[in-house]
Amino acid sequence: MGKKRLIIPVAVLLVVFLLAYIKYSGNVGTAGGKKDPPANKPVAVKTAAAVPGAISPSLTLSGTVAGEKETVITAKTQGILISLLARTGQRVAAGQAVALLESENQQLALEKSREQVNAAGSALEKAKADFARIAELYKQGAVSRADYENAELALKNAQAAYNAAVSDSRLADRQIRDATVAAPFSGSVAECFVEEGEMIFPSTRLMTLVDDSRLKIKANLTADQLKLVSEGSKGIFTTGVVSGKEFACTVKSISTRANPVNLTYAAELTLSQDAGDLLKPGMFGHVRLETKEIPGLIIPREALVTRDESGNAELFAVKDGKAVLKSVTTGLSDDRNIIVLGGLQPGEKVVTFGQSLLKDGSLVTEGE
């Protein structure tokens, strides 16, 4: 029992001694010899000055290869398709027959119309002779005025009947010729819509013909892109179908009216003559266009810390050795630079490297 009473005071003394030691250790270096924490170390950054200049905004459009001319050949008469003389992928010459329709009915109609022309011609000759005879008798007072007018009317009717018969004969002849469908220009058949044995009617689509002797690119421009491009602008067309190959192209025309559906402006770009060796109508790809130079106050694009779709951005400027977070308004850009529309003055320096280590007011040192 006595031993337990002795152990407790000793334990209390040890705790007091330990607390005193901890307090003493914490005060070492604070009383009398206390040192201030080291000052903020400057951050090494790279900078560039905002200067007046110009940019050439990059512009890439989606485009489709097309022939210089393209048309859908349709039937002009009715009949069974007895022969399809041109198939998809085949080349045809201007005036070459590409389809033949059964023309037996048209041939019968033509023969009948010719008979009607002959009959109407004979009737017209008789009416002319009758009128000449009646007119002579009328001068002599041998026939009445009514007889003269009846003969005159008969002649007019005979003339009208003859004209109608001739017109019908010409139409029947045209239908015979239309039974042979010819290519309106030289080119390649891009697609066929019918097969032999089908019943064909006027306006039935037979095939698509493309003049691929000279190819072009069809693309669309938005209203904003329209400001950057003009007729004569140069570009490069690429397609995954012909990998590793670039094709020079030139803007030939730009529509002056927007498509009411998608509000874009149709543009056509010409390709070089030899492009047809590798490209074919219908191939899809992209056009990278050279654009007009846009003047303005420019800075490197990498200076921007943030930027939204409206062009509002943030960056760090350097003033008196400190980083200053600034809000700016930006415009168009190219691969390297961007135009600053507001919030920055010419000559001001902006940080282009090291922004991730900065906050507003950080000390900085400028490096190369």
The reply to whether 27 falls in a domain is: no
pLDDT digits (tens, 9 = 90+) for 169-211: 888 788 788 889 999 999 999 999 999 999 999 999 999 999 9
The reply to whether 338 falls in a domain is: yes
Helix (H) or strand (E) holding 171: helix 145-178
Residue ending a domain, among 117, 143, 178, is 178
The reply to whether 189 falls in a domain is: no
Q: Give the per-residue pLDDT at 328.
A: 96
Q: Give the per-residue pLDDT at 35.
A: 43
pLDDT digits (tens, 9 = 90+) for 274-309: 888 899 888 999 999 988 888 999 999 999 999 998
Q: Percent of the chain having pLDDT more than 70?
A: 89
Q: For all residues of the chain together, what is the average pLDDT?
A: 86
Stretch 220-243: mean pLDDT, rounded? 91
The reply to whether 330 falls in a domain is: yes
Stretch 260-277: mean pLDDT, rounded? 91
pLDDT digits (tens, 9 = 90+) for 107-162: 777 778 888 889 989 999 999 999 999 998 989 888 899 999 999 999 999 999 99
The reply to whether 132 falls in a domain is: yes
Return d(Cα 64, Cα 241) in angstroms, integer. Answer: 12
Stretch 350-366: mean pLDDT, rounded? 94
Q: Give the per-residue pLDDT at 4.
A: 45
Q: Which amino acid is at 50?
A: A
Residue ending a domain, among 178, 201, 223, is 178
CATH classification of the domain holding 117: 1.10.287
pLDDT digits (tens, 9 = 90+) for 49-80: 999 999 988 789 999 999 988 999 999 988 89
The reply to whether 309 falls in a domain is: yes
Q: Is the pTM of this model over 0.85?
A: no
Stretch 8-31: mean pLDDT, rounded? 49
The reply to whether 67 falls in a domain is: no
Residue ending a domain, among 137, 152, 178, is 178
Token couple for 240: 């995954």
Query: What single DSSP character describes residue 37?
Result: P
CATH classification of the domain holding 353: 2.40.420.20
Stretch 350-363: mean pLDDT, rounded? 94
Stretch 250-268: mean pLDDT, rounded? 94
Return d(Cα 245, Cα 243) in angstroms, integer. Answer: 6
Return d(Cα 218, Cα 65) in angstroms, integer. Answer: 6
* Number of domain units in the chain: 2
Q: Give the per-residue pLDDT at 68.
A: 86
Residue appearing with tokens 């009411």 = 260
Lowest mean pLDDT among 274-278, 337-341, 345-349: 274-278
The reply to whether 300 falls in a domain is: yes
Structural domain for 299, as ranges: 46-55+294-367
| Cβ atoms 322, 279 nearer than 8 A | no
| Cβ atoms 251, 271 nearer than 8 A | no
User: Among residues 328, 333, 318, which one has the least CA distance to residue 363?
Assistant: 318
Compute how many other C-beta atoms are within 10 angstroms of the C-beta atom of residue 248: 13
Q: Give the per-residue pLDDT at 25.
A: 47
Q: Give the per-residue pLDDT at 3.
A: 44
pLDDT digits (tens, 9 = 90+) for 81-108: 999 999 998 999 999 999 999 877 777 7
